[in-house]
Structure 1
Amino acid sequence: METTGPATDSAPGPADPVVGIRHEFAALLGEFRRTAVLLPLSADGFPLTAGFGGVQWIYAFSDEPSLARFATVRGESNREWAFDRVLGARLLDAVAPALNVPCGVALDVGSPGDELLLPPITGVVPDRVAVDAETNEEMGEATGKGMGEL
């Protein structure tokens, strides 16, 4: 039996790429938060950081070979590297805010293709230290929506 009229295709339309990217980032962030990472320490015992774009980036590494690649890139593979092993959640929720400057995490720098930047924004670090916290509050007030609804 044939029918005529508008198609009633119930298949979903093309996926929104932004939604896909957000889901992928959320999955990576969740995995990072549950994983212990290596936190190299400076000579004074503080986390090793570098400034870029008004943000301090805490260096963290998923394993010793990744830290070794970083040391080689820096030309410092001959020295001993002191490091702590820290849960990713603790690094984002306690260590980054304790530095008292906008601070994100740079994971596996020096390992091409494996790098991950976790910026100091809401949803990654505590809201009180997120660089976009005021902007997000203003957006919510202007639209009458909270961030979960935007």
Structure 2
Amino acid sequence: MELTAEIAVFRAGTGDPARLVGEFRRAVLLVPRAGGSVDGEGGLMSALSGGIRWFYAFTDEAAMARFAEARGEADREWPYLAILGARLVDAVVPEVGGPAGVAVNVADPEGSMLFPPVAGIVPDACAVDIDIEADSAVVA
């Protein structure tokens, strides 16, 4: 099942969280470049909310176009990076230096999904629900 279908099933209350995360990790996502930069200057487009850096990601160009329209920026070019969801959370999120997650298809009220910085989605060292130091402490 593709990610958008898995999101729909999950939002309907019948989805499996592990299957949803698996599909997210396998999906090729489109992540807009910050500032519209084609050469990578400025990084990836994101927003800070509640102390969490959220990377915007889209399942296809149509979903990204709806986001551009919602922002009133549909008249400009939107350069983007095509990246596996797994690569986004395993390689990009750790570079943030703080809590970071992924917001998928945020302009689609019935098809959006947040993948927060928690164990099972991001690497354990980046998860806000795990205290690595407490978990690795040796009891004498």
Using structure 1 for the length normalisation, give the TM-score. Answer: 0.73
CA deviations 1:73-125 (Å, max 9, x no partner) are 00000010010100010001111111112000000010121101000011110
Residue 8 of structure 2 is matched in structure 1 by none
Are residues 1:92 and 2:104 paired? no
Residue 45 of structure 1 deviates from its aligned partner by 3.7
Q: Which has the higher contact order (CA 8 A, sep 6+)?
A: 2
Q: Which of 22, 28, 32 does residue 36 from structure 1 map onto?
A: 28
Are residues 1:71 and 2:68 paired? yes
Aligned residues: 119
Q: Where does structure 1 lack aligned partners over 5 or more consecutive residues?
A: 1-20, 142-150
Instruction: Indicate the structure (1 or 2) with the bigger Cα radius of gyration.
Output: 1
Q: Where does structure 2 lack aligned partners over 5 or more consecutive residues?
A: 1-12, 36-40
Cα distance in structure 1, aligned partners of 2:42 and 2:85:
18
Q: CA RMSD in A?
A: 2.1
Q: Which runs of 4+ in 1 moved over 4 A?
A: none
Cα distance in structure 2, aligned partners of 1:87 and 1:28:
14
Cα distance in structure 1, aligned partners of 2:68 and 2:17:
27
Are residues 1:116 and 2:108 paired? no
Using structure 2 for the length normalisation, give the TM-score. Answer: 0.78
Cα distance in structure 1, aligned partners of 2:104 and 2:97:
20
Q: Which of 16, 25, 43 does residue 17 from structure 2 map onto?
A: 25
Q: Give the residue type in structure 1 aligned to 2:31.
A: L
Q: Which of 43, 47, 63 does residue 44 from structure 2 map onto?
A: 47
